């Protein structure tokens, strides 16, 4: 039971119909496993489907095809009523701490709401016994409880969002760009907080971000998505030291290096062009239109994700 | 060499219902010809307000205080009328912003908008000449298929392509100074990388001076020659790019560098965040604005504002710990560097 992964996703596909004829292929055949107490990072350019993937996993969206197994339970086709008891196990932290907190509720009520909704406590007074320690755990105080979200800074708001997710003691938390809206000096505070919780409570994270160095730092495994598909996934350090997919290489090469001498050695930009539209994704390997190594085969045949050795999975004909 | 831009003791405030917000509180720095100067700081540091003060692109509630001076190519800008500033804007000084969509007209094809930018300042140019110039700019900023894209509307472009259009517009009249306010913040790293390379090439080719405003020290390292670090409406440190990373001379800069993981960061070691949050500028602290968050702060730091100390060639830091008479005990990170 202990070895059972918290999350198993197989062939996950999410299409959105727009109008009568067109379909957005947001997520296409993504498979991964998230081990208990670990962190899987998902990276990729905007529009690559990483957020849609996470939101489909947590069943904010219905699944078009594929399978999602949470803690041994298949939740793929459950309706919202069946899902409700399971929602305790999976929570989400959002990017924008300004938009994701109700402006008309006090911090206490924001954190107490999930406790009441899941019937863990019956009254607000009972909720306080859980809310106050939670506030302290995220570095806020009892005095903050009666204030409204707008009275807080971005970093403090994100702490409230984290407290709301953690108060249910979930087993899986989806972190969708949890630090992107925060100042650099505040980002490290929030990341340390998330890491502490993982150590203390063994919570698992699906961590989505575009800051690749932060993703490497928090993740045990990292998956790279391109245009709705997972193109490479393996242990975090391995993917940064030995990227195999040309897209991963380009993505990593684009990270600004906080070292002026090393930065000057870069002669040209790592990747040309923009990500194509997911409405009519390119045939074969979806990256072939931007790939410097693409051959005829890449345009025709879709590469499958296969083990290149030691659990380093990559979907590329050239590897 | 005569600097292109000299800012001296700039103070800009916003008069709001909850009092005066002192966004910029006495900022001085200059930009050399052909130089790329980075201004780094977090939200509320005053970095954007400083650059917006140059062309006075500020809200109506803003006031540039008495005694502030902004000299562009020797000319005092603070005494110019809005009309005179408009003649300089787009011609000698151009700006690009984080969100290109808000700076482009959604109803006019992008090519026309670039043409308009040229015609505004060169009404003598003919139709053919304008189109040729605009197409040339599209090629320069590497917009693929310029002939076809010329007729496209802004919504048909991706974020990265829109930013290229903005750069094309900004360069239309070969300005002497380009002010870029977080132009890559909303873009993916791959596109950011392309835009940064483009800016560097254009800087080389035209000799345009660039002020690049960002919160990202990585971007600064990639692009800039020199850096100004701002916090709480003040310049905290100013240095050549290598110096800043090799020998940061202000605890705030050190804190920023320590709080971001690089790709070599040991994952078992916790990050070193800067505790607390930035000051409230309606009621700025009397002393060093960073003192409440500074691990090295002493009583003096909260009470008085330190002056700049030269810590090297073109390197200055606003910190009491850099003073020659600062105690060299264990809690002074600069004790060994000051050599006193």
CA A146, A149, A150: angle at the middle one, nearest 5? 120
- Position A139 scores a pLDDT of 84
Select from B160, B215, B221 the Cβ nearest to the Cβ of A260. B221
Residue ranges in A10-91 assigned as alpha helix (H): 50-57, 80-87
Dist. CA A37–CA B13, nearest whole Å: 49
Binary contact (A258, B218; C-beta < 8 A): yes
Select from A185, A240, A255 the Cβ nearest to the Cβ of B189. A255
Select from A237, A258, A268 the Cβ nearest to the Cβ of B217. A258
- Each residue's pLDDT, cut to its tens digit, for chain B (340 residues) gives 689 999 999 999 999 888 899 999 999 999 999 999 999 998 889 999 999 999 999 999 999 999 999 999 999 999 999 999 999 998 999 999 888 888 899 999 999 999 999 998 999 999 999 999 999 999 888 888 888 899 999 998 888 889 889 999 998 999 999 999 999 888 888 888 888 988 998 898 889 999 999 988 989 999 999 999 999 999 999 999 999 999 999 999 999 998 888 777 888 888 888 888 888 888 899 999 999 999 999 999 999 999 999 999 999 999 999 998 888 777 888 875 544 3
Between residues 27 and 86 of chain A, which touch chain B (CB distance below 8 Å)?
A: 45-46
SS3 A166: helix
- Position A226 scores a pLDDT of 95
SS3 A231: strand
Label residue A311 exposed, middle or buried (CB < 10 Å: 0-12, 13-18, 19+).
exposed
Interstrand relation of B75-76 and B93-96 (parallel, antiparallel or unpaired): unpaired
- Position A57 scores a pLDDT of 95
Binary contact (A188, B193; C-beta < 8 A): no
Q: Which residue has the tokens 């009519």?
A: A280
Domain boundaries, chain A: 7-89+170-314
Binary contact (A216, B261; C-beta < 8 A): yes
Residue ranges of chain A with pLDDT lower than 50?
A: none
Dist. CA B310–CA B307, nearest whole Å: 10
Label residue B73 exposed, middle or buried (CB < 10 Å: 0-12, 13-18, 19+).
middle
* B-chain residues near A225 (CB < 8 A): none
Neighbours of B262 (CB within 10 A): 14
Binary contact (B222, A256; C-beta < 8 A): yes
Q: Which stretches of chain B sit within 8 Å of chain A by CB? A: 42-43, 144, 158-161, 188-194, 196-197, 215-219, 221-222, 241-242, 245, 255-257, 259-263, 265, 267, 270-275, 277-278, 293
Binary contact (B221, A191; C-beta < 8 A): no
* A-chain residues near B270 (CB < 8 A): 192, 195
A265 in contact with chain B, both atoms CB, cutoff 8 A: no
Residue ranges in B104-240 assigned as alpha helix (H): 110-121, 127-140, 146-149, 159-171, 189-206, 217-223
Neighbours of B66 (CB within 10 A): 7
The sign one gets for the Cα dihedral A192, A197, A202, A207 is negative
* A-chain residues near B277 (CB < 8 A): 153, 155-156, 186
A201 in contact with chain B, both atoms CB, cutoff 8 A: no
- Position B340 scores a pLDDT of 39
CA A112, A149, A198: angle at the middle one, nearest 5? 60
Binary contact (A271, B278; C-beta < 8 A): no
CA A52, A56, A59: angle at the middle one, nearest 5? 145
Between residues 129 and 158 of chain A, which touch chain B (CB distance below 8 Å)?
A: 153-156
Q: Which residue has the tokens 């700049």?
A: B308
B123 CA: distance to closest CA in chain A (Å):
35
Select from B190, B265, B273 the Cβ nearest to the Cβ of A185. B273
Token pair for residue A59? 């069943």
CA distance readout (Å), B301 to A161, B274, B290, B291, B339? 34, 17, 9, 6, 21
Dist. CA A202–CA A214, nearest whole Å: 20
A277 in contact with chain B, both atoms CB, cutoff 8 A: no
For chains A and B, count residue pairs whose Cβ atoms are closer than 8 Å. Answer: 133
CA B279, B293, B281: angle at the middle one, nearest 5? 10
Dist. CA B302–CA B325, nearest whole Å: 18
* A-chain residues near B194 (CB < 8 A): 269, 271-272
Dist. CA B138–CA A151, nearest whole Å: 46
Interface test with B, best of A95, A185, A189, A227 (most B CBs within 10 A): A185
In total, chain B counts a number of residues equal to 340
0.95 surpassed by complex ipTM: no
Binary contact (A155, B277; C-beta < 8 A): yes
Binary contact (A256, B196; C-beta < 8 A): yes
DSSP at A4: S
Token pair for residue A8? 């198993």
3-state helix, strand, coil in chain A (%, to 5): 35, 20, 45
Interstrand relation of B308-312 and B234-240 (parallel, antiparallel or unpaired): unpaired
Dist. CA B113–CA B105, nearest whole Å: 8
Binary contact (B271, A45; C-beta < 8 A): no
Binary contact (B193, A214; C-beta < 8 A): no
One of 3.40.50.10420, 3.40.50.300, 3.40.50.360, 3.40.50.1240 is the CATH number of A7-89+170-314, namely: 3.40.50.300
Helix (H) or strand (E) holding B8: strand B5-16
């Amino acid at each position: 039971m202990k070895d059972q992964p918290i999350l198993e996703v197989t062939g996950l596909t999410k299409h959105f119909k727009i109008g009568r004829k067109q379909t957005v292929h947001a997520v296409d055949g993504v498979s991964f496993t998230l081990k208990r107490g670990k962190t899987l990072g998902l990276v990729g350019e905007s529009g690559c489907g990483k957020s849609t993937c996470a939101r489909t996993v947590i069943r904010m969206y219905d699944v078009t095809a594929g399978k999602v197994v949470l803690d041994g339970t298949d939740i793929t086709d459950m309706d919202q009523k069946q899902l409700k008891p399971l929602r305790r196990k999976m929570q989400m932290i959002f990017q924008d701490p300004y938009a994701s907190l109700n402006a008309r509720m006090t911090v206490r009520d924001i954190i107490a709401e999930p406790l009441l909704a899941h019937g863990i406590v019956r009254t607000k007074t009972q909720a306080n016994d859980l809310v106050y320690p939670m506030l302290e755990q995220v570095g806020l105080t009892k005095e903050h409880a009666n204030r409204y979200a707008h009275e807080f800074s971005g970093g403090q708001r994100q702490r409230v969002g984290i407290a709301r997710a953690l108060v249910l003691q979930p087993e899986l938390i989806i972190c969708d760009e949890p630090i992107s809206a925060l100042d650099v000096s505040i980002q490290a505070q929030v990341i340390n907080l998330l890491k502490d919780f993982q150590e203390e409570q063994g919570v698992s994270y699906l961590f989505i971000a575009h800051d690749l160095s932060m993703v490497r730092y928090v993740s045990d495994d990292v998956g790279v998505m391109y245009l709705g598909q997972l193109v490479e996934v393996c242990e975090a350090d391995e993917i940064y030291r030995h990227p195999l997919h040309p897209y991963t290489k380009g993505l990593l090469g684009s990270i600004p290096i906080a070292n002026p001498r090393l930065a000057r050695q870069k002669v040209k930009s790592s990747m040309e062009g923009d990500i194509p539209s997911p409405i009519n994704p390119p045939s074969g390997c979806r990256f072939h239109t931007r790939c410097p190594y693409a051959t005829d085969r890449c345009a025709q045949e879709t590469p499958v994700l296969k083990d290149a050795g030691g659990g380093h999975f990559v979907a590329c004909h050239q590897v | 060499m005569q600097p292109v831009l000299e800012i001296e003791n700039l103070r800009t405030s916003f008069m709001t219902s909850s009092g005066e917000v002192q966004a910029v509180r006495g900022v001085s720095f200059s930009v050399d010809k052909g130089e790329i100067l980075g201004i780094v700081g977090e939200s509320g540091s005053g970095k954007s307000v400083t650059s917006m003060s140059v062309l006075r692109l500020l809200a109506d509630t803003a006031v540039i205080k008495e005694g502030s001076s902004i000299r562009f190519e020797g000319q005092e800008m603070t005494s110019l009328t809005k009309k005179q500033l408009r003649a300089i804007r787009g011609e000698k000084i151009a700006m690009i912003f984080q969100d290109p969509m808000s700076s482009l007209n959604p109803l006019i094809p992008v090519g026309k908008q670039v043409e308009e930018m040229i015609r505004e300042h060169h009404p003598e140019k003919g139709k053919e000449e304008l189109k040729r110039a605009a197409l040339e700019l599209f090629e320069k900023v590497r917009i693929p298929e310029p002939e076809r894209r010329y007729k496209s509307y802004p919504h048909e472009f991706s974020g990265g392509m829109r930013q290229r259009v903005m750069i094309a517009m900004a360069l239309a009249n070969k300005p002497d100074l380009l002010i870029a306010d977080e132009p890559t913040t909303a873009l993916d790293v791959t596109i950011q990388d392309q835009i940064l390379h483009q800016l560097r090439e254009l800087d080389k080719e035209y000799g345009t001076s660039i002020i690049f405003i960002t919160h990202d020290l990585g971007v600064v390292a990639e692009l800039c020659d020199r850096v100004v670090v701002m916090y709480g409406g003040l310049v905290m440190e100013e240095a050549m790019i290598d110096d800043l990373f090799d020998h940061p001379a202000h605890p705030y800069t050190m804190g920023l560098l320590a709080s971001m993981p690089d790709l070599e960061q040991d994952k078992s070691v916790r990050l070193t965040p800067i505790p607390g949050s930035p000051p409230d500028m309606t009621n700025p602290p009397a002393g060093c604005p960073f003192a409440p968050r500074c691990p090295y702060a002493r009583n003096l730091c909260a009470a008085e504002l330190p002056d700049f100390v030269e810590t090297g060639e073109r390197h200055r830091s606003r910190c009491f710990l850099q003073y020659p008479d600062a105690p060299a005990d264990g809690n002074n990170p600069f004790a060994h560097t000051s050599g006193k």
